Structure 1
């Protein structure tokens, strides 16, 4: 069996799926590492993952297991990540999600389709003027969702590109020098403070202005939670969709008969998006959960305070759940994947990601019917939680 050191290294993304398959067969609740009396676990089978994600026995609040050696208040950076909606339990999670849910309900998101189409058309027009190979990530998959989420939040157009470096540093925190993480996060929060001050002086019809109002009322949102919410929405609001677009296009290029089928009938776009989400899930692992008390979980004793990760990518290739699980099939009709998670932490932005992915792929294939893969060795980003490409070189004819 693999050791902890070999579970995550520079080539892990390339060989991850055979490794997951081995775990599902031999050790589906896998003790990834051990420190003292605490064990970190990876759960890989579909049914087990769904059970974990909805179980009240596994919580997000790690502070319940930490010894507080100081009575000092945590600094702002620490507070931001402790208060992030993705990493808190009810009732705080319920309260925070209720504040932003109206902006992401399917009906509200559908109203954004004309603007998303307009942005896609402009990006593709810019691409058509370029010569040589195109990086589909840099030129299309990244700018489309960052423009959309920035406009929804109320972030000025000239500031959007700053978020890519900041978000990638935060998402890669485990692989970055501590100084890089602290420096970029401080820059991010300094920028947000300035933006908050501007919006307080001049409120707009945007989500930041709405959340500032909730913070000012005091009983719905405090300042640390406000920072946390915006950081989360900016990062999650574009990173997952970048990966959805890039990963689905890669799968289509790797399966040319499926690409031809989609080009011949774009009514398959919805099911192609769902199959892309299943086949190359944009999020490899759920964020961490901890066992609130000792619990027996399918024959394994998980101790109080043990960290548990759900492998969404593995669950979505589980041969006991999906027929021909290793086959990419855009006509798959039964596709109950959990690429957006499950339970109370199901991805808030799933309707937006699906719509952006649908518009992006339809527009791309319509505008460039001869599009093809230019570099047959695409490179995956080395971010543990996510599965996304650092670049995807294509020729557009």
Structure 2
């Protein structure tokens, strides 16, 4: 067992996107907007082991003798988020064990693969209409803000039950929240929470086939100790809206950019469209929807990848780095749409274990449909700017994503 004593490395957003696997399985680092050092796991086997080990928890407050709320709380403090708003970002994410199961059970039905598959015609129509509208303008457009954001907003709103007339306003509140500007993001959270509360009231009076109605039905049928509070229902819907929009929009933009960067792979996909499902999984491995996972905290002294992690210390999972680990994937830095992962060694872009992304089936379906309409049914999509002019934006502890992506048909 080894115990590296190197001083913590101050990571920037770009470092998070391009972490060296180095020689050590864990690196001692300080994430952006934090002061508490954590272990950064970058190797596939180590990341997967940590994510599946019940001796790690998401909430350090649950570990006796541990002080503070961990690096997540430090980031929220730095962002100026008041305590009363933190439930909207922490529910599901910061709980483990039976409590996590209780919350997840109430929303999992809406994201079951069979139910998501039934959405294909609707998502296909939304994508087709948006693509045709942008192509008809015969001008440059921003793929992120004119295509991927509107599309995924419509899809998640469809699932949750947001009326079509309300979606532009809801999208504006999401943008306010994501701006990070104090005079915008706090009112954005407040408006979203109030809207969700009103939506639950409407669905209580007139149930429909949507997640808001599912939550109310599931809660009514649950044993008393498994029921959700009103505030928990609002927070769950808020989290699903938030995580269903920004990560998906950024991933779709980055996935398209990756294919434009690799014209030989795009040509292969056009020649062999049956590769599309496999191509989606390779893009998830190559660019990932979430670059860095939530920090996990050791409930006891333990060994991880041959390194001693002491009780209360945090381990942050480098998902993108793990998915490019040359020890697991042959020629890991190359995009290969025909890649077949070895059994049990597929990408972990959706995480692993109990906290694996609920929306995985939805993300797979959306990506297939988007790539089909943008790049297979049409063969003229191209960048409208020089490749080195593509700007990226960093999010605390998450990596970098395209700020805008000007393209044209």
Alignment TM class, shorter chain as reference: 0.7 to 0.9
- Identify the range of structure 1 (363-372 vs 148-157) with the bigger mean alpha-carbon deviation: 363-372
Q: 5+ residue gaps in structure 2? A: 1-5, 70-81
- Residues 46, 321 of structure 1: 8 Å contact kept: yes
Structure 2 equivalent of residue 48 of structure 1: 46
| Alpha-carbon distance in 2 for matches of 1:269, 1:125 | 21
Structure 1 equivalent of residue 378 of structure 2: 368
TM-aligned CA deviation for residue 118 of structure 1: 0.8
* Match status 1:30 vs 2:42: no
The one-character-per-residue Cα deviations of 1:328-384 (angstroms, maximum 9, x if unpaired) are 111112261111111111111101100110011111124421211222132223123
Task: Note closer, same or farther for the CA distance 1:119–1:38 as it changes in structure 2 (3 Å cut).
Answer: closer
Tell me the secondary structure at the aligned position of residue 296 of structure 1.
strand
- Residues 124, 367 of structure 1: 8 Å contact kept: no
- Residues 281, 387 of structure 1: 8 Å contact kept: no
| Alpha-carbon distance in 2 for matches of 1:386, 1:222 | 34
The one-character-per-residue Cα deviations of 1:290-321 (angstroms, maximum 9, x if unpaired) are 12222232343323222221000000100000
* Match status 1:197 vs 2:201: yes
| Alpha-carbon distance in 1 for matches of 2:325, 2:317 | 13
Normalised by the length of structure 2, the TM-score is: 0.84
| Alpha-carbon distance in 1 for matches of 2:277, 2:34 | 47
Q: Give the counterpart of 2:401 among 380, 383, 388.
A: 388
Q: 5+ residue gaps in structure 1? A: 69-73
- Identify the range of structure 1 (57-66 vs 39-48) with the bigger mean alpha-carbon deviation: 57-66
Structure 1 equivalent of residue 85 of structure 2: 77
- Residues 291, 318 of structure 2: 8 Å contact kept: yes
Q: Give the counterpart of 1:318 among 314, 318, 325.
A: 325
Task: Note closer, same or farther for the CA distance 1:162–1:30 as it changes in structure 2 (3 Å cut).
Answer: farther
Structure 2 equivalent of residue 267 of structure 1: 274
- Residues 8, 28 of structure 2: 8 Å contact kept: no
Where in structure 2 are the equivalents of 1:142-153 lying within 5 Å? 142-153=149-160
| Alpha-carbon distance in 1 for matches of 2:227, 2:12 | 40
| Alpha-carbon distance in 2 for matches of 1:197, 1:55 | 40
Structure 1 equivalent of residue 189 of structure 2: 185
The one-character-per-residue Cα deviations of 1:12-44 (angstroms, maximum 9, x if unpaired) are 1xx655x422xx123331111399996312110
Structure 1 equivalent of residue 287 of structure 2: 280
TM-aligned CA deviation for residue 62 of structure 1: 2.9
- Identify the range of structure 1 (176-185 vs 39-48) with the bigger mean alpha-carbon deviation: 176-185
| Alpha-carbon distance in 2 for matches of 1:29, 1:164 | 39
- Residues 215, 223 of structure 1: 8 Å contact kept: no
TM-aligned CA deviation for residue 221 of structure 1: 1.2
- Identify the range of structure 1 (369-378 vs 277-286) with the bigger mean alpha-carbon deviation: 369-378
The one-character-per-residue Cα deviations of 1:197-250 (angstroms, maximum 9, x if unpaired) are 332333322111221344456542112221221011112223332233212111
- Residues 104, 349 of structure 1: 8 Å contact kept: yes
- Residues 287, 385 of structure 1: 8 Å contact kept: no
Q: CA RMSD in A?
A: 2.8
- Identify the range of structure 1 (317-326 vs 162-171) with the bigger mean alpha-carbon deviation: 162-171
TM-aligned CA deviation for residue 151 of structure 1: 0.9
Q: Give the counterpart of 1:212 among 216, 219, 228.
A: 216
Task: Note closer, same or farther for the CA distance 1:179–1:394 as it changes in structure 2 (3 Å cut).
Answer: closer
- Residues 110, 214 of structure 2: 8 Å contact kept: no
- Residues 294, 302 of structure 1: 8 Å contact kept: yes
Q: Give the counterpart of 1:339 among 333, 349, 353.
A: 349
TM-aligned CA deviation for residue 2 of structure 1: 9.4
- Identify the range of structure 1 (244-253 vs 188-197) with the bigger mean alpha-carbon deviation: 188-197
